[in-house]
Amino acid sequence: MPLLTVGHRGLMAVEPENTLRSFRRAEEAGVDEVELDVHLSKDGALVVMHDAAVDRTTDGTGLIADLTLAELRALDAGGGERVPVFAEAAGAVAGPIQAEIKDAAAARVLAGEIERLRLCGRITVISFHDAALRETRALLPDVPLALVTGRSTPGAPERAVEIGASMISCELAHLDTGVVARAHAAGLRVISWTVNTPADLARVRELGLDGVVTDTPEIVRAVSPAA
């Protein structure tokens, strides 16, 4: 089976992360799925950004939760790009999406948007937060889930099964053959982040993983030569 390729926040090595330009670039590069992150603004808009604060990725300062959508829209998210709302991001690409819930409070709003936009056939909801995934499962029983883990990777297979996830997305440095074997025995797919170098990709193949989350077009090409 070929490795699944996931564009991390679009294709953030070459475009401003979590922007429409980055998502389009990832799809043009041939990724199988585009990953993005969601938070809630002060006025309840589902906005696409990784950090809880805007400081690192925009020309503004402050927490997303303290800013209105209009205030967020006024920021430069890199190269003149604006902070998108989830519906815009979903509309910018034609293929599958992985939507990561960074703020657990966003789970219910995201579920509503998935239903409104009729995305059930092309979205996987992912999160570090078990509670967010459980709420998503309750609201959208048919939408696939993935548990994201870093240092907690050793317990990922069991947590994922308990939540009802079908995949785990684990930090590569914390993956080992035991975790992968337990996950596969439980019927879970295993992908890893963030795979950006030939050495990373070699480790992915050594572990027998099912996919990669990458920032770079070079890894996409290495995994999918026709891309």
* CB burial readout 117-149, b (16+ within 10 A) else e: eebeeebbbbbbbeebbbbbbebbeebbbbbbb
pLDDT above 70 (res 34): yes
Residue 136 corresponds to which tokens in the numbers above?
């998503």
pLDDT at residue number 60: 98
Q: What is the pLDDT of residues 7-26, one digit of tens each?
A: 999 999 999 999 999 999 99
pLDDT above 60 (res 227): no
Alpha carbon distance 18, 36 (integer Å): 6
Alpha carbon distance 136, 129 (integer Å): 11
User: What domains, with CATH codes, occur in the chain?
Assistant: 4-40+86-223 (3.20.20.190)
Residue 60 corresponds to which tokens in the numbers above?
């503004």
Where does the pLDDT of residue 224 fall: very low under 50, low under 70, confident under 90, or very high at 90 and above?
A: confident
pLDDT above 70 (res 226): no
Q: What is the pLDDT of residues 90-122, one digit of tens each?
A: 999 999 999 999 999 999 999 999 999 999 999
